[in-house]
Amino acid sequence: MIEAIGNTPLIRLKHASEATGCEIYGKAEFMNPGGSVKDRAALAIIKDAFARGALKEGGTVVEGTAGNTGIGLTLVAQAMGCKAVIVVPETQSREKLDFLRMIGADLRLVPAKPYRDPGNYVHVSQRLAQEMGAFWANQFDNTANREGHRHSTAPEIWAQLDGKIDAFTCSCGTGGTLAGVALGLRDLAQKANVKAPEIVLADPEGSGLYGWVKDNDLSVQGSSITEGIGQSRITANLDGSAPDHAERISDSEALEEIFRLTQEEGLSVGGSSGINVASAIRTARRLGPGHHIVTILSDGGARYQSKLFNPEFLKSKNLPTPPWM
């Protein structure tokens, strides 16, 4: 199972490429065994914990997550003879919660609270790990997360495009994917003696990171129905990664891309992938034709059936609905 994580295909996105005259690619992270990009972080964090002796066979991993990291950690933990206790805000999609229960995670739901509140899921998971004497994965500030992407996702992308990459864009939850891929691609470009690709942060409404990149201002406005992305602080994983540019993408723009990918390209993806593809298209328009741009297809659409593919829910939020429904 461990060996099945990573080495995902890089898929040329037809509409995005044809509309911009660039070659736009999505890394198919929804094909990981746990169904998301977070399998890589889970594997990197658990491997590092084993190497440091912080976790041993028979031990327990505790983590606070929007769901995908919990799924990855539970599966990797079980593959390595451990157990997982997963703390999730109760606002996350029913599909992710059901999946966690289905695979045997010890699931603890908590009310959604801001990070500054001691009842926030991240702080609850830290306290729980301390009380249990268990290993706390700490995906936001444990840089084993971004190191995993630096040494797997980045070299895979580089090899898949033979080093021909002008820009990379993705959204951030922990920032592990964006920062790890940025650091990895910058290392590889330096070794090859070529210009490093531009790193573009893709941010939903209700996140502070766009303002951080543009004006060094982390204040937050608006909100988003996307899950697992958006951040209002500089996590240890993001620290020192310095994106070159940022795009802020609305839910409507992301949904249009998700519906088009489904209907015209047979790719069923979740909300953050829509934000990512919309950002890749904006980046292509800004750079002009002839560029190679890579983004992340973070997870699959089935994880959000009751929200992103539910016309009643979408209408209640004044958002576009899937044209075929």
Say how many residues touch ligand PMP, by CB under 6 A: 19
- DSSP label of 162: T
Rounded CA-CA distance 42/62 in Å is: 12
* Strand 60-64 relative to strand 83-89, pairing: parallel
Interaction of residue 87 with ligand PMP, rule CB under 6 A: no
The residue from 28, 66, 77, 281 that contacts ligand PMP (CB under 6 A) is 66
Amino acid in the structure at residue 160: Q
The residue from 8, 32, 36, 143 that contacts ligand PMP (CB under 6 A) is 36
Rounded CA-CA distance 41/146 in Å is: 7
CB of 59 or CB of 243, closer to ligand PMP = 243
Catalytic residue, from 14, 27, 38, 164: name it.
Answer: 38
The residue from 173, 197, 204, 243 that contacts ligand PMP (CB under 6 A) is 173
Contact 201, 210 (CB under 8 A): yes
3-state SS class at 281: helix
3-state SS class at 289: coil
- DSSP label of 120: S
Site residues for ligand PMP, 176-205, by CB under 6 A, read 176-177
Interaction of residue 272 with ligand PMP, rule CB under 6 A: yes
C-beta of 273: minimal distance to ligand PMP in Å?
7
27 is an active site residue? no
C-beta of 21: minimal distance to ligand PMP in Å?
27
Query: How many beta carbons lie within 10 A of that of residue 136, not counting itself?
Result: 21
Q: Applying CB under 6 A, which residues contact ligand PMP? A: 36-38, 66, 68-69, 171-177, 228-229, 270, 272, 298-299
Residues classed as catalytic: 38
